[in-house]
């Protein structure tokens, strides 16, 4: 049974990448301590993982993107639909989608995506990093 672990993006990003065209994987882009701990745990456990991005949708661990600034408050309804469609497309092969919630930065946008995806019945929320197994 295929499983993936996700968390939501963070505003804290690698400052040296700002204003460049350098595309990197999510573990090189996001610098927030909790998201770094999540990504490190996933790498140690050798599990599939990714980040729910306000701009890119599902940003898988092996994908490369450039630095961006996008607050979830600025996501338009059309962009939200695009993120939901990306979620559906990229994650349809996973039977289990475990989503690491970081409560202090869990925006209502992420909750809407998780509730509106066609895959909502596969999503399980968790808040303890040791749930990544």
Contact criterion met (CB below 8 Å) for 95 and 48: no
If you average pLDDT over residues 98-116, what whole number do you get?
Answer: 96
Q: What pLDDT is stored for residue 1 in this prediction? A: 76
Inform me whether the pLDDT recorded for 32 exceeds 80.
Answer: yes
Burial of 37 (0-12, 13-18, 19+ CB in 10 A): middle
Inform me whether the pLDDT recorded for 54 exceeds 90.
Answer: yes
If you average pLDDT over residues 45-65, what whole number do you get?
Answer: 98
If you average pLDDT over residues 42-48, what whole number do you get?
Answer: 98
Inform me whether the pLDDT recorded for 131 exceeds 90.
Answer: yes
If you average pLDDT over residues 33-41, what whole number do you get?
Answer: 97
Q: How far apart are CA 44 and CA 132, in angstroms?
A: 10
Q: How confident is the model at residue 25 (pLDDT cuts 50, 70, 90)?
A: very high
Q: What is the pTM of this model?
A: 0.96
Sign of the CA dihedral running 47, 39, 34, 75: negative
Q: How confident is the model at residue 95 (pLDDT cuts 50, 70, 90)?
A: very high
If you average pLDDT over residues 80-98, what whole number do you get?
Answer: 98
If you average pLDDT over residues 19-47, what whole number do you get?
Answer: 98
Contact criterion met (CB below 8 Å) for 31 and 12: yes
Backbone angles phi, psi at 29, to 5 degrees: -90, -50
């Amino acid at each position: 049974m295929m499983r993936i672990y996700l968390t939501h993006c963070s505003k804290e990003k690698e400052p040296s990448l700002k204003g460049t065209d350098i595309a990197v994987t999510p573990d090189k882009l996001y610098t927030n301590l909790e998201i770094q701990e999540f990504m490190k745990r996933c790498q140690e456990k050798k599990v599939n993982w990714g980040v729910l991005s306000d701009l890119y949708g599902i940003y898988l661990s092996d994908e490369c993107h450039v630095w961006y600034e996008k607050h979830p408050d600025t996501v338009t309804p059309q962009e939200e639909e695009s993120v939901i469609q990306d979620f559906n497309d990229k994650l349809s092969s996973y039977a289990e989608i475990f989503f690491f919630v970081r409560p202090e930065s869990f925006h209502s946008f992420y909750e809407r995506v998780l509730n509106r995806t066609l895959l909502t019945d596969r999503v399980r929320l968790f808040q303890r990093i040791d749930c990544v197994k």
